[in-house]
Structure 1
Amino acid sequence: MSGRAGNVRFVLVVSAPLGLTACNVWQSALDAHGQSAEAVLRQFYGFTALSAGIWLLVIFAMIGALRRRRSLAERLAAPLERRSRPEAFATIAVSTAIGLTAAILIGLTTWSFMTGRTLASLRGRETLTLLVTGDQWWWQVRYEDSQANRTFTTANEIHIPVGQPVKVKLESNDVIHSFWVPSLAGKEDLIPGHQNEIYLKAERPGVYRGQCAEFCGYQHAHMSFLVVADEIPDFEAWRSRQVATAASPTGEEAAAGQRVFLSRGCSICHTVRGTPAGGKVGPDLTHVASRKTVAAGTLPLSRGSLAAWIADPQAIKPGTNMPRVALDPDELNAVVAYVAGLQ
């Protein structure tokens, strides 16, 4: 990935053999692409401009007071009635300043309230509901639906339809995390034992980077995710693919990799729908090769990244709960071939 100052743009490069290409990934609260983010951005610019104006007024008032103090010092010997006029002016100035301060505070509070109403305006209009669960250090994403056959689980990558409000319910399995997609919405904490919610609405297609915004442990910096805003037909096609069970491996090497996957403990932690693998400790890998990153945004998805991650996850992400499984080179290549085919 590469970054650019100001409006941050990451260039995510993933390998062509897995059917993915380079894409721009946006992550900047100053580059709003959603209704909630735009409301927060307007308030940010307004508060900044008003604060700058108040600062300038205070500086000018201070300079004027210092100059007036010098002129008063020269007239200390003047009669009392001549000195009463500056004192009256000072009283008026202070009273005016107090009145303006109260008016500004009331105005800012009202503005904040209206922004909050804008953020809450998506409530009850959602066309899609997700349950996002934070773990150290990855994100489980469950797409909920009244029809059980349209419910599925994925990880570290969220697809949403453009122009439609999405309700995201937030939970944590361990410590406090914070869900933040700067270009689409504000932050919301994930608290163990308590469910919060946030609403997303992308106004235009794109890939938006999110991250955990609450320090949650050793690999907090490597707990990111992507929000992919698709046009509605593209989203529905993606959803149909995700609902399906994993395709059977093609080729002898991938078939051998599936056997290794099921026999060497991988299935204890991971689920691959359509196979005996039903572990719930780690991410669901049914369609892992359709994602753009590995290990919650730590590496771009490629065969090399998969091999490095499977061979020694502690070298890539020290402290992660995924253990190192001793595989010989042939077994490693076979597992990589199998996982790379899970699209």
Structure 2
Amino acid sequence: MSFHATQTAELTWVMFAGAAVIFVLVLGTLGFALYGSAQVRRPLSRRWLIIGAGVIFPVAVLSALLAYSFAVTARMARTDTPPAVRIEVVGEMWWWRLRYLDQNGQLLFETANDIRIPVGVPVDLVLTSDNVIHSFWAPKLAGKLDMIPGHVNLLRVQVRQPGLYRGQCAEYCGAQHAKMMFDLRAVTVEEFQAWVAAQRLPAMEPANATLQVGKQIFMQACTQCHTVRGVNATGTLGPDLTHVGSRSSLAAGVLPNTIGALAGWIAGSQHIKPGNQMPSFDQLTGENLRAIAQYMDSLK
């Protein structure tokens, strides 16, 4: 669990406990007023009790809870130390563009939907959108934070233990809102550094004739929308596919990342996720479809 999730859980339990105490006291007073004897009910009509229980007590308790909530949220929002990692997260229709930045804000590499962060260090997620309002939410990591066109929101997270955190867009953004998911994997610092080094490398050259055919088909059909670093594919409308074979899922968490799922997505993307910006390439022959799927799977 992350620092933000721990603080959120603590705030929730304190608020719940405060509300429960007030609820029990109110019900108890109501019970005495309705069913108590005349001797018990008589003190309930005294002015000092009405003012104390009806005005002073709720004002004092609610003010204390409000001050506590402000203190907790201030701790969660504190960014007085520089982050170890900065990731620009852009909400697309309907997937997540991820741009890993260096300490000077320069682009290291771009990927999609599959977020990796190191444990034990602060990580800044710079959230924005180029189209409609989205909302970044990983329930076990932190609270929801909106991604608003023309505006930048900052979410700082610090995960304590390695693990997988499932995320979801939490703001209705169109027909495929429910199929806009992501995986956030927290790994050790050493594993993260090795992953970053691998992601910065260009795509590997095809190792056999089948992969070479797949590459040729990809260059003919996909380069207007997709980038593969190391070859002449520089499209920016869709996700960067330089290392798509190393990702955990396809289509923003809709499909597992297997050769069969890749082929199915290429041939029937509009059937699987209607309205997304990728057309279905259902005119490809079975042989060519397998070749391009195998080529994309080889991009580790």
TM-score of the alignment, normalized to the shorter chain, above 0.5? yes
| Partner residue in 2 for 1:34 | 2
Distance in 2, matches of 1:215 and 1:271, equals 28
Match of 2:203 among 246, 252, 263: 246
| Matching of residue 207 in structure 1 with residue 167 in structure 2 | no
| Partner residue in 2 for 1:280 | 236
| Matching of residue 60 in structure 1 with residue 16 in structure 2 | no
| Partner residue in 1 for 2:73 | 116
Distance in 1, matches of 2:156 and 2:104, equals 22
1:206-232 Cα deviation digits (max 9, x unpaired): 110111110101110110111110100
TM-aligned CA distance change 1:115 to 1:257, over 3 Å: same
Distance in 1, matches of 2:268 and 2:14, equals 49
**Greater length-normalized contact order (CA 8 Å, ≥ 6 residues apart):** 1
Distance in 2, matches of 1:129 and 1:148, equals 8
Report matched runs for 1:1-343 at 5 Å. Answer: 33-68=1-36, 71=38, 86=42, 89-97=45-53, 98-146=55-103, 151-264=108-221, 266-325=222-281, 326-343=283-300
Q: Secondary structure at the match of 1:178?
A: strand
Distance in 1, matches of 2:115 and 2:284, equals 31
Distance in 2, matches of 1:337 and 1:330, equals 11
Q: 1:271: how far off?
A: 0.4
Distance in 2, matches of 1:88 and 1:163, equals 55
Q: 1:111: how far off?
A: 1.0
Q: Secondary structure at the match of 2:150?
A: coil
Distance in 1, matches of 2:85 and 2:210, equals 39
Larger mean Cα displacement after TM superposition, 150-159 or 285-294: 150-159
1:59-101 Cα deviation digits (max 9, x unpaired): 1110101124x738xxxxxxxxxxxx93685322212212110
**TM-score of the pair, normalised by structure 1:** 0.83
Q: Secondary structure at the match of 2:175?
A: coil
Q: 1:149: how far off?
A: 8.8
Contact 1:271 1:280 in 2 (8 A): yes
Identical aligned pairs, as a percentage? 40
**TM-score of the pair, normalised by structure 2:** 0.95
Q: 1:295: how far off?
A: 0.3
Distance in 1, matches of 2:294 and 2:194, equals 25
Question: Gaps spanning 5+ residues in structure 2: where?
Answer: none
Tell me which structure has the larger Cα radius of gyration.
1
1:258-317 Cα deviation digits (max 9, x unpaired): 0000012x1110000001111000000000111100000001111111111011101111
Runs ≥4 residues deviating over 2 A: 85-90, 121-125, 146-150
CA RMSD of aligned residues (A): 1.7
Letter in 1 for 2:293: V
Contact 1:149 1:243 in 2 (8 A): no
